Structure 1
Amino acid sequence: MKKLSCLLLLTVCFSTVVWGQTVLASKFDSLIARLLPSGSEAGIAVYDLTERKPLYTYRDKHLAHPASTMKLLTTITALSQPDSDKPFRTELWYQGVIEHDTLQGDLYVVGGFDPEFGEKGMMALVDDIATLPCSVINGRVYGDVSMKDSLYFGNGWLWDDTPFAYQPYLSPLMYEKGVVTVTATPSTQQGAKARLTVKPASTYYTLSNQTQSRTSGAGKFIVTRDWLSDGNHITVAGNVQHTQRDAVNMRSSQDFFMYTLLDRLRSKGIAVTEGYAYTEFRKDSASVQVSSWETPVEEVVEKIMKESDNLNAEAMLYRMGAQATGRKYVSATDGIAEIIKLATQLGYQPDTYKIADGSGLSRYDYLSPALLLDFLVYAYSQTELFQKLYKALPIAGIDGTLKHRMKAGKAYKRVHAKTGSYTGINALAGYLKASNGHDIAFVIMNQNVLSPAKARAFQDAVCELLVD
């Protein structure tokens, strides 16, 4: 009798689970039929982390463009490396001797691909140079960018995206992400030029003001540069109805760094007789370290996730390659090899997907929702790694790229996920807390959707369903 009771109990429990999954699948099928935009495709993979079982899949083995959800693979792999906690580091050295207020020798700035190096870091280096007992450098200031190859764009990046701030020129020496930001404030006189404020200040670029204040016929406000001729002349044009701001990248970020460094040295009264050049720094017994600047890896990860920063993701990819190989000279391939290695450990053969960069800007990236989901499940199983990742992810209705999504309803604050989008592609992947207390990992990849709003509405509805 006792055995029969146990058997009946197990049968009821099993039937309840199967019924629950059937109901969930039915709700998903209905949602897809109602909200998936006509002519588009989607791949969905959902996993209950608490009960360690799949909840729902829909075309989860189909390959798709991940867009910026590719950053999850890069970040998870990078944080799984033994030296992942080491900060990004930029170093300053000199070789020579200081005599009678003059450094008879050269300065060396050694790039470590710090994507967050900005004006604060630049002035810290300059202030440390100013503490040396000299006001003349009778030599050159060398930039060491030998950490990476000479390819300044990622594989498959679109050539006509180059003036935009989200597509940086990659270099181990980055200053303010290689980007200039222009703020335009309208004049009180209609038709007059707007007042422009440009940061960071540098003689590396020139500026042309073709704006008109509160003049609708002047056209749309635009900030660009002569990118087709590889120039750095910034043109600001169009109607400035109210205070407006836009950014543009600089051609050759390493030159932007070095040029501005010399500007700042001159502002401190330090003369450099021979300008700047590039070479590899080789430390010897006569080398003296003047300064260094460090950026914690947590700061880089937060920008990758919250702001979907492409430069930060590529910096993580290159640094991961350098840490894994132990070599100073690396390429994107070295970082990608580490992602492939982890994917192989998770059961995926390299010929079943394609990774072209670390940020997802490339149209050559192809992943399946199943693969991305398994990376999320793996991260969840690594407590320290997961804590860093989860903390950095955008929170629905609160911050980052999810600040204005899911502000009402049960998904509010419960979804921590990475977005990904460019023309025709929208994706969302991460974690959520269900109303029953279960932790859920999910991936949604919308493809061929010309309306981003419809894709986001579909994804938000999926999250509401999962939370409920």
Structure 2
Amino acid sequence: MKKLNWLLLFTFCFSTTAWGQQDLALKLDSLVARLLPSGSEVGIAVYDLTAQKPLYRYRDTYLSRPASTMKLLTTITALSRPDGDEPFRTELWYQGVIRHDTLQGDLYVVGGFDPEFDEQGMKALVDNVAALPFSVINGRVYGDVSMKDSLYFGDGWMWEDTPYAYQPYLSPLMYEKGVVSVTATPATQNGAPATVVAKPVSTYYTLSNETQTRTDDAGKFAVTRDWLFGGNCISVSGNVQRLRKDAVNMHSSQDFFMHTLLDRLRSKGINVMGSYAFADFQKDTASVLVSFWETPVEKVVENIMKKSDNLNAEALLYRMGAQATGRKRVSAAEGIAEITKLALTFGYQPDDYKIADGCGLSNYDYISPALLLRFLTYAYSQPALFRKLYQALPVAGIDGTLQNRMKAGKAHKNVRAKTGSYTGINGLAGYLKASDGHDIAFVILNQNVLSAAKARVLQDAVCGLLCQ
């Protein structure tokens, strides 16, 4: 009798679980049918990490353009490496001897592709040079950018997206992300030029103020530069009715870095003979490490996830390639090879997908929701890796690119995910906590959707249902 009762109980529980999962699938199918924008497509993959079983699949093997959800593959692969915790490092050396207040030799700045190197880092390097017993450099100041190839855009990036700040010129020597930020404050008198401030301050660029305060005829506020000719004259124009902010990238990042370095050295009273140049640093017995600046990888990852920073993702990709090969002048291909190696361990062959960059800006990126989900489940299985990734992901309704989404309901604060948005593409992928305490991994990739808002409505509804 007892055996029969146990059998009945097992049968009941199994049937209830199966029916619950079937009920969830029906509800998700209904959401897709009702909320998928007309003429568009979507791929969805959902996995219960606690129960270790798939919950839902909808066209999950179809290839999709991932947009910025591509950053998950790059970050997970980079953090899975034994050397993944190493900081990004920029070094400054001198080579020669100091005699009578003069450095008889050269100064070298060796780039390590630190995407967060900023004014604070620049000041630290310059202050350490100024502390040395010389005020004249009788030689050259060199930038060593030998870490990577000379390609400053990713494969499949759109050339007309320059001068937008989200597409900087890639270099092992980055300063303030290769970007100048512009702030325009309206004047007290209508029609008068607004007050325009650009940061960081550098003689590398010029600034043209063509704004008018509270003047509709002045046109739309705009910040650009003469990018078509590779120039760095920043033009600020249009109507300024209130405080306005924008940013443009510089052509090129390594020149922006080196030019500003010389500006700062001269402001400290150091006489630099001539201009800067680029050359490989060859360490010898006359080489002295003057200073270095490091950025923790956690900071780089946080801005990849919270701010969807393209530069940070590309820096992580290139550094991963350099770590794996031990070579100089690596290309994106060496970093992509590491992602491919990890995908192979999951059973995905290189012919099953296409990866062209580390951030998702490329028009050539094609992956499936199933592949992306597999990276997410792998990350979850690695506690140290997962902790770094999970903490960096935007929280629904709270911060990052999810600050203004899912601000109420079951999904609020219970979803941590990476967004991805590009013309015609919109995605969301990450983790959520269900009401029964289960951890869920999910991927939603909308394709051919002209209304990002409509795609987000579907994604948020799916997350809300899963959290229930």
Shared fold per TM-score greater than 0.5: yes
Q: Distance in 1 between matches of 2:9 and 2:407?
A: 41
Structure-1-length-normalised TM-score: 0.99
**2:340 aligned counterpart, secondary structure:** helix
Are the counterparts in 2 of residues 211 and 218 from structure 1 also a CA contact under 8 Å? yes
Q: Distance in 2 between matches of 1:299 and 1:434?
A: 29
Question: Does the alignment pair 1:133 with 2:161?
Answer: no
Question: Does the alignment pair 1:228 with 2:222?
Answer: no
Aligned residue runs from structure 1 range 292-371, under 5 A: 292-371=292-371
Counterpart in 2 of 1:388? 388
Are the counterparts in 2 of residues 212 and 240 from structure 1 also a CA contact under 8 Å? yes
Q: Distance in 1 between matches of 2:40 and 2:141?
A: 54
**1:363 aligned counterpart, secondary structure:** coil
Can you list the C-alpha shifts for 1:49-86, whole angstroms capped at 9, x where unaligned? Answer: 00000000000000000000000000000000110111
**1:168 aligned counterpart, secondary structure:** coil
Counterpart in 2 of 1:164? 164
Counterpart in 2 of 1:18? 18
Question: Does the alignment pair 1:429 with 2:429?
Answer: yes
Shift of 1:230: 0.8
Counterpart in 1 of 2:248? 248
Q: Distance in 1 between matches of 2:88 and 2:103?
A: 28
Q: Distance in 2 between matches of 1:32 and 1:142?
A: 57
Can you list the C-alpha shifts for 1:419-451, whole angstroms capped at 9, x where unaligned? Answer: 000111000000000011000000000011111
Q: Distance in 1 between matches of 2:389 and 2:140?
A: 42
Shift of 1:14: 1.6
Aligned residue runs from structure 1 range 5-404, under 5 A: 5-404=5-404
Are the counterparts in 2 of residues 377 and 441 from structure 1 also a CA contact under 8 Å? yes
Shift of 1:252: 0.8
> RMSD between aligned alpha carbons?
0.7
Counterpart amino acid of 2:74? T
Structure-2-length-normalised TM-score: 0.99
The share of aligned pairs that are identical, in percent, is 77
Q: Distance in 2 between matches of 1:87 and 1:161?
A: 30
Can you list the C-alpha shifts for 1:110-140, whole angstroms capped at 9, x where unaligned? Answer: 0000000010000100000000111110111
Shift of 1:228: 0.6
Are the counterparts in 2 of residues 148 and 330 from structure 1 also a CA contact under 8 Å? yes
Can you list the C-alpha shifts for 1:179-216, whole angstroms capped at 9, x where unaligned? Answer: 00000001111111100011000000011111000011
Can you list the C-alpha shifts for 1:211-238, whole angstroms capped at 9, x where unaligned? Answer: 0000111111000000111111110000
**1:8 aligned counterpart, secondary structure:** helix
Are the counterparts in 2 of residues 126 and 264 from structure 1 also a CA contact under 8 Å? yes
Shift of 1:6: 2.7
Aligned residue runs from structure 1 range 421-460, under 5 A: 421-460=421-460
Are the counterparts in 2 of residues 138 and 274 from structure 1 also a CA contact under 8 Å? no
Q: Distance in 2 between matches of 1:143 and 1:390?
A: 36
Shift of 1:274: 2.3
Counterpart in 1 of 2:414? 414
Can you list the C-alpha shifts for 1:266-312, whole angstroms capped at 9, x where unaligned? Answer: 11011110210000000001101100000000000000000000000
**2:69 aligned counterpart, secondary structure:** helix
Are the counterparts in 2 of residues 140 and 274 from structure 1 also a CA contact under 8 Å? yes
Q: Distance in 2 between matches of 1:187 and 1:141?
A: 42
Shift of 1:3: 3.2
Counterpart amino acid of 2:160? D
Task: Tell me how many residue pairs correspond in the alignment.
Answer: 468
**1:449 aligned counterpart, secondary structure:** coil
Q: Distance in 2 between matches of 1:91 and 1:24?
A: 55
Q: Which runs of 5+ in 2 are unaligned?
A: none
* Structure 1 runs, 4 residues or longer, greater than 4 Å off: none
Q: Distance in 2 between matches of 1:290 and 1:326?
A: 24
**1:17 aligned counterpart, secondary structure:** helix
Q: Distance in 2 between matches of 1:274 and 1:194?
A: 37
**1:82 aligned counterpart, secondary structure:** coil
**2:318 aligned counterpart, secondary structure:** helix
Counterpart amino acid of 1:455? A
